[in-house]
Amino acid sequence: MSKYLGIDASTQSITGLLIDTEQRTIVAEASINFDDHFKATYGVVNGVLDLGESVVHSAPLMWAEALDLLLQTLADQGHDLGAVRAVGGSGQQHGTVYLNASAGPALARLSPGQPLKDQLAAIFSRPTSPIWMDTSTASQCAEIEAGVGGRDALLALTGNAAFERFSGPQIRKFYQTEPDAYANTTYIGLVSSYVASLFAGRLVGVDPGDGSGTNMMNIAARQWSARALDATAPDLAAKLLPIAPSGQPVGPISPYYVGRYGFADDCLVLPFSGDNPCSLIGLGLVAPGQVALSLGTSDTLFACMDQPRTSAAGEGAVFASPDGTHYMALTCYLNGSLAREAVRDQYDMNWNQFIQALQATPPGNNGALMLPYFAPEIVPKVPRPNVVRSNLDPGDASANVRAAIEAQALSSRIHARWMGVEISSLYVTGGASANAEILRVFANVHNCPVHRFETTSSAALGAALRASHAHQSTASYAPSWAEVVEPFAQPVGGSTIEPEPRAIAAYDELIGQYAALEQAHT
Ligand code: XUL
């Protein structure tokens, strides 16, 4: 019995991934897509509620309902959940969940006879949760920076300048716009701590990996900062769930899962972390200098560092690694799959036609460029959707496909410089990493080999590996992180894409033009 379950509660779906550490393999992976199951009941589109004016929420009760469906799916597929020794998890970062005083008792008395949604509907003091796509908090960002003594002071304290999507600005906005609901809120946690609480049957704290995405955690101490909390909202220290060390199990799984799905009653639950910090582990980035790229709803480029190097220009974010010692540098682009899908749909293509368009056009696209801000962009900061074409015929479908992908790759090269890491190879994950033609563009733009991983669910894999590391550390021999990740963090044999000399030259020329275009429009 050496099975570990990783859960990834992400924007569009919830995924469960089961690993067997004796067989050194992934034994199961299942996903529940929110739109497929909950569009009618919760009104979500692409997993979210777009409330207008840059306000984007989702429904925490939907995540609980989806969790039941996911575990039922794994059980129906015949997987023995009783063999799972520990559960780890990951959540979309920054999103906040607001609970009333009934949350603790409701979680503690979960009965296996009824689904979570029927037992937990009354625990929320705010029925919907702002998520990372919400960019409506510019004024709160400015106020928080001013409150701690300026942007540089916030950077030094928390590792990050204030970002609209980060939890602190979102909490401040809630306090300012709905003071009564804020006063009626007993607990505030993140998506990760909420889903961990569902598993543990009690309130679980926020791990330092996800805590660093709030603008409220002292990154060096890995604890909430009183100064940052004071600048955010009154009485926040009493409401915010405490920081919970990433590697320390919080206790056994709730009897709910024992009775309903056959988990063992001594199966351990770990604090969950953010999806990006979990991906860092899932891709085996447990030593400084390693770099990976995740092509998901958002595209993220990230590296493992031994010190919290900060991005003064606000291009990137710094998080504590859930390995307990290192740090993670991250640059997040909102227009990831969102932009790829927007181009595909605009030209009425399917993914095969999208690939053919890339094959039919030359690297450098004959100088045609696009700024693919189909939605507001995080890096560089673009407050409103704005698709800009330069030397690019809007009627030329293939050239537009190439221009969008080249823009994403060029931007990832430009905005990775602050990390101060020499990129000598890129490990790629996420849904779009299955597309070799997209990876070829990234290999050529970065002038380095690109390796693909077997699972596109690196966050769920990282969560499972964290569970394995924590559980094994409670036994006589505590394995190193390198030993834990090594069997799983191997690129798919034959998946490596090498850069092509001719294309490298084309991009070395184009990158200056792209940077100038970007500067002119941001
Ligand atoms: C990272 C970020 C996104 C979400 C997506 O800062 O906002 O990558 O974590 O789930």
CA of 301 to the centre of ligand 1 (A): 11
Name residue 450's beta-bridge partners.
Answer: 426, 497
CA of 133 to the centre of ligand 1 (A): 8
Q: Which atom of ligand 1 is nearest to the CA of 91?
A: 10
In degrees rounded to 5, what are phi and psi of residue 327? -125, 165
DSSP, res 253 = P
CA distances from 262 to 27, 76, 181, 254 (A): 18, 12, 38, 11
Strands 25-33 and 49-52: unpaired
CA of 377 to the centre of ligand 1 (A): 13
Pocket test residue of 48, 94, 331, 333 for ligand 1, highest count of atoms within 8 A of CB: 94
Residues with CB under 6 Å of ligand 1 are 10-11, 92-94, 132, 165, 213, 274-276, 298, 300, 317, 330, 332
The residue-averaged pLDDT of 116-144 equals: 97
pLDDT at 306: 87
How many percent of the chain have pLDDT more than 70?
Answer: 100
Structure-block tokens of residue 71 = 């575990």
> What pLDDT digit, counting tens, does each position of 306-316 carry?
888 888 888 89
C-alpha span between 264 and 253 (Å, rounded): 8
Q: What does pLDDT average to over the chain?
A: 95
Q: Which atom of ligand 1 is nearest to the CA of 165?
A: 7
- Residue-wise DSSP of 20-33: ETTTTEEEEEEEEE
- Residue-wise DSSP of 115-175: -HHHHHTT-BSSSSEE-TT----HHHHHHHHHHTTSHHHHHHHHSS---TTSHHHHHHHHH
Amino acid present at 213: G
pLDDT at 373: 97
How many percent of the chain have pLDDT more than 90?
Answer: 88
pTM to 2 decimals? Answer: 0.88
C-alpha span between 167 and 163 (Å, rounded): 9
Q: Which atom of ligand 1 is nearest to the CA of 10?
A: 10
pLDDT at 117: 98
CA of 78 to the centre of ligand 1 (A): 33
Q: pLDDT class for 28, splitting at 50, 70, 90?
A: very high
The residue-averaged pLDDT of 434-456 equals: 92
Residue nearest (by alpha carbon) to ligand 1 atom 6: 332
> What pLDDT digit, counting tens, does each position of 134-190 carry?
999 999 999 999 999 999 999 999 999 999 999 999 999 999 999 999 999 999 999
Q: pLDDT class for 478, splitting at 50, 70, 90?
A: confident
CA distances from 455 to 27, 357, 428, 501 (A): 11, 26, 10, 29
- Which position has the higher pLDDT, 35 or 489? 35
Name residue 405's beta-bridge partners.
Answer: none
> How many helices (DSSP H) and strands (DSSP E) are in the chain?
21, 22
Pocket test residue of 15, 34, 132, 163 for ligand 1, highest count of atoms within 8 A of CB: 132
The residue-averaged pLDDT of 459-487 equals: 93
CA of 83 to the centre of ligand 1 (A): 31
CA of 332 to the centre of ligand 1 (A): 7
Judged by average pLDDT, the poorest of 188-202, 238-252, 482-496 is 482-496
> What pLDDT digit, counting tens, does each position of 44-75 carry?
999 999 999 999 999 999 999 999 999 999 99
Q: Which atom of ligand 1 is nearest to the CA of 11?
A: 10
- Residue of 170, 192, 132, 130 whose CA lies nearest to 336: 132
Residues written for the chain: 522
pLDDT at 39: 96
Q: CA 204, 231, 304 angle in degrees (round to 5)?
A: 55
Q: Which atom of ligand 1 is nearest to the CA of 294?
A: 8
Mind spelling out the 3-state secondary structure of 462-512? HHHHHHHHHHHHCCCCCCCHHHHHCCCCCECCCCCECCCHHHHHHHHHHHH
Q: Does the pLDDT value for residue 1 go beyond 70?
A: no
Q: Does the pLDDT value for residue 296 go beyond 90?
A: no
Residue nearest (by alpha carbon) to ligand 1 atom 7: 132
SS3 41: helix
CB atoms within 10 A of CB 226: 12
Q: Does the pLDDT value for residue 401 go beyond 90?
A: yes
Q: Does the pLDDT value for residue 465 go beyond 70?
A: yes
CA distances from 404 to 376, 411, 516 (A): 15, 11, 16
C-alpha span between 87 and 269 (Å, rounded): 5
Mind spelling out the 3-state secondary structure of 288-320? CCCEEEEECCCEEEEEEECCCCCCCCCCCEEEE
CA of 279 to the centre of ligand 1 (A): 11
The residue-averaged pLDDT of 230-257 equals: 98
> Within 13 A of 315's CA, how many CA atoms are on the CB side?
19
Q: Does the pLDDT value for residue 476 go beyond 80?
A: no
Judged by average pLDDT, the poorest of 8-17, 252-261, 284-293, 461-470 is 284-293
CA of 493 to the centre of ligand 1 (A): 29
- Which position has the higher pLDDT, 26 or 306? 26
Q: pLDDT class for 192, splitting at 50, 70, 90?
A: very high
CA of 418 to the centre of ligand 1 (A): 19
**Cβ-Cβ contacts under 8 Å for 78 (sequence gap 6 or more):** none
Q: Are 215 and 166 in contact (CB under 8 A)?
A: yes
CA of 378 to the centre of ligand 1 (A): 10
Burial class (CB in 10 A: 0-12, 13-18, 19+), 254: buried
Q: Which atom of ligand 1 is nearest to the CA of 378?
A: 7
Residue nearest (by alpha carbon) to ligand 1 atom 5: 92
Q: CA 104, 63, 184 angle in degrees (round to 5)?
A: 40
Q: pLDDT class for 91, splitting at 50, 70, 90?
A: very high
Q: Does the pLDDT value for residue 332 go beyond 80?
A: yes
**Cβ-Cβ contacts under 8 Å for 210 (sequence gap 6 or more):** 91, 93, 190, 192, 193, 272, 273, 274, 277, 319
